[in-house]
Amino acid sequence: MIDEALEVIEISVRSTISYYLACKYGAFVHEDAKIFFDKSKHAEWITKIHDETTRSKETFIEHYAKKYEGFPQLPLWMAVEVMSFGALSQLYHNLLRDDQISLAKVAGYHSTVLSSWLHTFTYIRNMCAHHSRIWNRELSIAMVVPKHGSWHDINTKRVGSVVFAINNFLSKLPIEQRIRNEWHAEMDTLLNQPVDIPKFYVVMGFLDNWKKSPLWKDGA
């Protein structure tokens, strides 16, 4: 269920970033190192994107390669379709500060929080894809969380923090409320199943009385 929610988040982040950057800078903005903070990282990143584009068997990629010059350069709204979640996260993390801040405002977060969450979501998505264990496991990266509300009690190196972050992110996306409600209900059912494991919720990183927490009830 975590990976299903992250798919929804990834699609939204793709469209938001590509729309913002293409409208502000043009279709091939991601090819221009000038809008990126670390030029050397951009060079490495765009090389990987071109490699992924060349290997892609997508029909729209093959059509573009036959009809237009400059391949494997693609308009950003096409390039994001072949980017991994990790590449998308790296794109955001390496943008100039003003663009990071503007995009974070669209998402409803501080730019440092958004950058951290995209990184963590990528990390968790990869773990799910490889069927790795995420319960009772200390995450290798600590997630940055907002400084307000109930977030200060969160253990940011346990998967519980990621579940709360996903719930929060879904609550702010311009998607049908039904999608978030269904995910929330399914996750609630899963977490409410009887588990004969001592301190199960503690090792998962859930707060005491987490069911009543605004982070779970409201996503706030």
* 213-220 long-range Cβ contacts below 8 angstroms, 24+ apart: 213/150, 213/164, 214/149, 214/150, 215/149, 215/150, 215/151, 215/154, 215/164, 215/167, 215/168, 216/164, 216/167, 218/171, 219/167, 219/168, 219/170, 219/171, 219/172, 219/180, 220/149, 220/168, 220/171
Kindly report, residue by residue over 2-44, the tens digit of the pLDDT.
889 999 999 999 999 999 999 999 999 999 999 999 999 999 9
162 and 203 in a single domain? The answer is yes
Residue 120 lies in a domain: no
Rounded CA-CA distance 75/77 in Å is 6
- Interatomic CA distance for residues 47 and 55, integer angstroms: 12
Could you identify the residue written with the tokens 């059509």? 63
pLDDT tens-digit series, residues 101-159: 999 999 899 999 999 999 999 999 988 888 888 877 888 889 999 988 778 888 899 99
Q: What percent of the chain has pLDDT over 90?
A: 60
Range list of H helices, the chain: 2-25, 39-55, 59-67, 76-79, 85-93, 97-107, 111-129, 159-172, 177-191, 200-204, 214-217
Rounded distance, CA 122 to CA 158, Å? 15
In a domain, 122, yes or no: no
Domain count, the chain: 2
Q: Is pLDDT of 219 > 60?
A: no
Q: What is the pTM of this model?
A: 0.91
pLDDT at 46 over 70: yes
Q: Are residues 81 and 149 in the same domain?
A: no
Regarding whether 167 and 93 lie in a shared domain, the answer is: no
Residue 132's region, left for phi above 0, alpha for psi from -120 to 50, else beta, is: beta
- Same domain for 141 and 101, yes or no, is no
Domain that holds residue 84: 2-107
Q: Judge whether residue 220 has pLDDT over 70.
A: no
Query: What radius of gyration do the chain's Cα atoms show?
Result: 19
In a domain, 129, yes or no: no
Q: Please tell me whether residues 94 and 142 are part of one structural domain.
A: no
Element (H or E) spanning 153, and its range? none
115 located within any domain: no
Residue 35 lies in a domain: yes
- The answer to the question of residue 91 being in a domain is yes
- Give me the mean pLDDT over the 85-104 stretch: 96
